[in-house]
């Protein structure tokens, strides 16, 4: 059985690290890895292949930095060419990026069965590009691997045939458990105590007023605890556009780090502030409270249990909540997101279904 996996963005490399390894270790199953090129900086792409031992993609389409529709259509055309050359039995996509949607549409156009890892997540915010990508991809999928029971329920509510939905647990938990012992200190000077922050969602970075408000909040938090922020290239660009003085800021900006360095930062921080999907769960895996710089989240179970707090972008709310949580002892009792073998379950299900 041959699986063609489409990846292109940082969170997909983390997920593929465990799923591709599982495919590789399964007799009778082979993988063709296609990198769309969506993320292309060395520290947003190649570093993950090196650190996490992901095999090099057989194809790199080199498509990036285009408006959404144009990027999806160019990627789709490239993936369709690979499908014609490779004749896969399955096409596998991850998450919610433009690469995900391009892979899904290519599978449909070429009549290749499609499976979606991380199906069923919903923010219920129709303005998010990611929400559009997820819903469209789920509609096109033949097998939907849902990480949580909430995701399963979301899909059922949308009328997806329950026979297509498989609850697997979350492959990001697999990755966090597998790589935690290899966590590595980044090559930068770190304060003894710090808050870890990541910021890259378009809704936060592309609106100058919101971006300024969030930076003000982080500057104010920096007055009582240092804030370490590995800076996503898109956020750097948006900060430059508003003339934010990156070099003179009290916020400790560092270059994006690899996954192993990120695990170290998660393990050693006081708490996490983020608008990332993946980092919200990784904060939980590391038993750190997470302050989410958004109005809504796909990972509602973390909010329901008090591990994650939706703070939006008002600087007063953010600063006072962070201050409160810094003095809270970490109380983490549940074991959410599966048993750390989601990737095995995914490959096993595909093997059962056959090519």
List, by residue number, the catalytic residues: 200
Residue 262 in contact with ligand UDP, rule: CB under 6 A: yes
If we measure between CA atoms, which residue out of 270, 278, 271 comes closest to residue 299? 278
DSSP string, 108-166: HHTT--EEEETTT-----TT-HHHHHHHHHHHH-SEEEESSHHHHHHHHHTT--GGGEE
Residue 141 in contact with ligand UDP, rule: CB under 6 A: no
Closest CB to ligand UDP among 32 and 183?
183
Residue 8 in contact with ligand UDP, rule: CB under 6 A: no
User: 3-state DSSP call for residue 97?
Assistant: coil
Q: Minimum distance between the CB of residue 137 and ligand UDP, rounded to whole angstroms?
A: 14
> What would the x/- binding string for ligand UDP be over residues 181 to 200, using CB under 6 A?
-----------------x-x
If we measure between CA atoms, which residue out of 178, 165, 177 comes closest to residue 115? 165
- Please count the residues of this chain forming the interface with ligand UDP, following the rule CB under 6 A: 16
> What would the x/- binding string for ligand UDP be over residues 231 to 260, using CB under 6 A?
-------------------------xxxx-
Contacting residue, 22, 131, 138, 282, with ligand UDP by CB under 6 A: 282
Residue environment code for 17-51, b if the CB has 16+ CB neighbours within 10 A, otherwise e: bbbbbbbeebeebebbbbbbbbbbeebbbbbbbeb
The span from the CA of 13 to the CA of 221, in Å, is 31
Contacting residue, 278, 294, 315, 325, with ligand UDP by CB under 6 A: 278
Residue 10 in contact with ligand UDP, rule: CB under 6 A: yes
Contacting residue, 37, 103, 147, 230, with ligand UDP by CB under 6 A: 230
Residue 279 in contact with ligand UDP, rule: CB under 6 A: yes
Residue 277 in contact with ligand UDP, rule: CB under 6 A: yes
* Axis crossing angle, helix 171-179 with helix 259-268, rounded to the nearest 10: 80
Q: How many CB atoms lie within 10 A of CB 315?
A: 18
Give the binding site for ligand UDP (CB under 6 A).
Answer: 10-11, 14, 198, 200, 230, 256-259, 262, 276-279, 282
């Amino acid at each position: 059985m041959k699986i063609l996996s489409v990846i292109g963005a940082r969170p997909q490399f983390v997920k593929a690290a465990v799923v591709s390894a599982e495919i590789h270790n399964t007799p009778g199953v082979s993988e063709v890895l296609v990198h769309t090129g969506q993320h292309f900086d060395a520290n947003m792409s190649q570093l993950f292949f090196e650190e996490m031992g992901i095999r090099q993609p057989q194809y790199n389409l080199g498509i990036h930095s285009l408006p959404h529709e144009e990027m999806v259509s160019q990627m789709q055309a490239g993936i369709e060419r690979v499908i014609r050359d490779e004749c896969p039995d399955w096409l596998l996509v991850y998450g919610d990026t433009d690469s995900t949607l391009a892979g899904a549409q290519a599978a449909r156009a070429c009549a290749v069965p499609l499976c979606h890892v991380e199906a069923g997540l919903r923010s219920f915010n129709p303005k998010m590009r990611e929400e559009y990508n997820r819903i469209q991809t789920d509609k096109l999928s033949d097998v939907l691997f849902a990480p949580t029971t909430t995701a399963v329920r979301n899909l059922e509510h949308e009328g997806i045939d329950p026979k297509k939905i498989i609850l697997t647990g979350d492959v990001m938990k697999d990755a966090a458990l597998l790589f935690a012992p290899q966590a590595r200190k980044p090559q930068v000077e770190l304060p003894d105590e710090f808050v870890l922050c990541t910021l890259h969602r378009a809704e936060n970075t592309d609106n100058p007023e919101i971006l300024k408000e969030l930076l003000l909040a982080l500057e104010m938090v920096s007055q009582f605890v240092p804030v370490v922020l590995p800076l996503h290239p898109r956020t750097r660009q948006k900060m430059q556009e508003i003339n934010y003085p990156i070099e003179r800021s009290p916020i400790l900006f560092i270059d994006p780090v690899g996954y192993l360095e990120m695990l170290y930062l998660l393990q050693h921080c006081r708490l996490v502030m983020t608008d990332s999907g993946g980092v919200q769960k990784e904060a939980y895996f590391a038993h750190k409270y997470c302050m989410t710089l958004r109005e809504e989240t796909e990972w509602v179970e973390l909010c329901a249990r008090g591990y994650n707090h939706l703070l939006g972008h008002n600087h007063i709310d953010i600063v006072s909540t962070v201050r409160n949580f810094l003095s809270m002892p970490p109380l983490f009792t549940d074991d959410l997101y599966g048993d750390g073998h989601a990737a095995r379950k995914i490959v096993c299900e595909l093997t059962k279904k056959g090519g």
